[in-house]
Amino acid sequence: MYNDNLVVDSYLLYVNNLALMTKYYTHNIGLNLLEKGQHQTILGIDNHPLLILKETNPQTKRKATGLYHTAFLVPSAADLGGVLLHLLNTNTALIGGANHGYSEALYLQDPEDNGIEIYHDNPVEVWDVRTDGQIIG
């Protein structure tokens, strides 16, 4: 069921290598460095924080990330195209892309195997919404 009142403001991602992950999300993904601390960086667009990277104790290595992916919404198909061009220009590996009907998305994997989705929503008028509220895509 679609709920346009549900919004994720920012993500907190625990990382093993803060320097590597900060470089990836700034250089490859294109986020801006908003704040840098000894064990944490805050990244975003303009002055809006989107991702907080917090370094964990190296002894607490995990066998799995525990996260399917973070998702970043861009305003339009043109913006998603700009993201794709940036990813290609920085030789950033893509896992794939999809047109779900209700959205179009690019999928990536960061250096610590966290999934990333960058997407835009198509206009609601073109979504396949069933009478029970289910969205097909």
Higher pLDDT: 111 or 136? It is 111
- pLDDT at residue 92, rounded to an integer: 97
CATH number of the CATH domain containing 72: 3.10.180.10
pTM: 0.83
**Beta-carbon contacts of residue 41 (< 8 Å; ≥ 6 apart):** 18, 22, 33, 35, 52, 53
Which residues are 118's β-sheet partners?
72, 106
Cα separation of 83 and 105, whole Å?
A: 11
Domain containing 86 equals: 11-136
pLDDT at 45 (0 to 100): 93
Structural domain contains residue 6: no
List pLDDT tens digits, range 16-45.
999 999 999 999 999 999 999 999 999 999
Residue 30 lies in a domain: yes
pLDDT number for residue 19: 97
Contact status, residue 70 vs residue 59, Cβ threshold 8 Å = no
Residue 3 within a domain: no
